[in-house]
Structure 1
Amino acid sequence: MTTDWRAAPDFGLTQLTRRFHQDWTREGTALEIVASSAESFGGKAAPALLEDSLRLLESPLPTWAVTSLWLAATCRGYDIDRLGVDGRDWLRQIIDVCLQRLRKDDPAYHPPAPAPPSESLTGEVLDEILLVTPQLPVAITEHGWARVGGVVPALNLAATQAGPDLAFRLLLRCLSEYWVPLTQPQYDRFAALGERFGYGEPLVMAVDHLIDLE
């Protein structure tokens, strides 16, 4: 993944989850949304989406955790669970779409195996997950039909088994979708973590509306 993609407002799998907002069906089918995301910037978005999806698919995470992360990051916007599709099956569909796009430019394209995830910021990401553990499950429960079980354990597993970068972005998506209040010090730590991951400022700013909601 290039530095340019990390500086974008979002990228990869978490950018795709943003597409499944309340009115997403007006834009097409689920796979058409995936294809549109992969096509962004002339297809240059496809490698980041492919990398995230492969990393999660090939990680040791149990399938229930993969499913929970997708559902929570979209607030069940695309409810694969109710369609009888598990998280790994859905990732395989996303990967197929990405490969189709990449092979338009290079018919011989074969994705490299994901590099082992960096562990350098795992502890910091786990600390931030721990600090929202009391609030996040409560906020999810309050969303009624959009409730998802096991999100905090899934985020912890993602941080250790799929990499802190992806886990941190998924954490931000879950907090934003379920309107979990943040304090200014929490947000400041998120911004510092984002800078250390090499993100552009807008990626973390997507949760600044959560500061002091209470």
Structure 2
Amino acid sequence: MERFTSFDFGLSGLAALFHEDWIHVGRVEEVVYSYLSVGEASVADEAQQKEAAALERDVVDLAGSSLNDGRIEMLFSMSTSWNYRFQGDEKGRVLLGRISRACRRWQAMYGCVPVEADAAWSSQAVVNEVCDVVGETSLQIPEEFRRYFGSEVTELRDALDACARSASADLAFRLLLRIHVANFIPVEHSAWVRYEGIASQLALGEDLLSSLEFLLPDTGPRSN
């Protein structure tokens, strides 16, 4: 079964919109609507409806997982290159609730379709593979990002592992890739080979994985 898109999607895809100027878009809800935008059209096509369904599923899975709010906050903030900061009384599940409600309002206006699903994507074999790669991949956070990262890398690994086991291995893997890109964390060749294998098992598109190519050691970061 093929995915509806070859690019990133769901919560990990949404995180990319929380760049350094996201606040000019508006509140979290406005960022969600921008992400799901139908432009000038009065109706949404099936791919847009599937995107909304995937985002809603990610949020529901993560909110219902064993992760505490602090770990949810860490995963989301790292996925946004720390451009989204939790302040005051806001907690991880409060943010997920805002995203979920925005999704449901969008779906009420533009239509709702079943989320794409394949038994292979949630198999124990895939869960084990994602957890193994999370535990074994070198995650060397560049020094310029360490000022934001108050916890040990082991806590990041534990959060991704818990996400894979109690929420979704699919989401955990996509968050891992997003965290690489957002924080310019190098990808070793051995990890790249394993990432390709997992991406294939999860039927993730080639454009998603190719977004990490600039982090491979023989290319270095590309300039914008």
**Could you tell me which amino acid in structure 2 is paired with residue 73 of structure 1?**
S
TM-score norm. by structure 2 comes to 0.80
Counterpart position of 2:206: 201
1:64 to 70, 85, 94: 70
For residues 209 and 130 of structure 1, the distance between their equivalents in structure 2, rounded to whole angstroms, comes to 23
CA 1:115–1:65: 2 relative to 1, 3 Å: farther
**Which residue identity is paired with 1:12?**
G
In structure 2, how many angstroms separate the alpha carbons of the residues matched to 1:56 and 1:8? 23
Corresponding residue number in structure 2 for 1:28: 26
Identity %: 26
**Which residue among 166, 170, 175 is the counterpart of 2:175?**
170
Equivalent position of 2:106 in the other structure: 101
Alignment pair present for 1:82 and 2:87: yes
Moved more, 8-17 or 28-37: 28-37
Q: Residues 78, 194 of structure 1: CA spacing in aligned structure 2 closer, same or farther, 3 A cutoff?
A: same
CA drift at 1:84 = 3.2
- Aligned match of 1:18: 16
Q: Cα RMSD (Å) of the superposition?
A: 2.7
1:73 is aligned to 2:79: yes
Structure 2 Cα separation of the partners of residues 115 and 68 of structure 1: 29
Q: Secondary structure at the match of 1:39?
A: coil
Change (3 A) 1:97 1:148: farther
Q: Does 1:39 align with 2:41?
A: no
Q: Go from structure 1 to structure 2 and tell me whether the alpha carbon gap of 1:148 and 1:19 turns closer, same or farther (over 3 Å shift).
A: farther
Measured in 1, the distance between the counterparts of 2:88 and 2:13 equals 22
Q: d(CA) in 2 for partners of 1:168 and 1:110? A: 24
For residue 64 of structure 1, what is the amino acid of its counterpart?
A: G
Is the contact made by 1:38 and 1:49 (CA closer than 8 Å) also made in structure 2? Answer: no
Is this contact kept in 1: 2:137–2:191, CA < 8 A?
no
1:39-74 alpha-carbon deviations (Å, 9 max, x no partner): 358242211110110111112222222111111111
Q: Give the number of equivalent residue pairs.
A: 205
- CA drift of 1:127 comes to 1.8
Q: Mind listing any 5+ residue stretches in structure 1 that lack a counterpart?
A: none
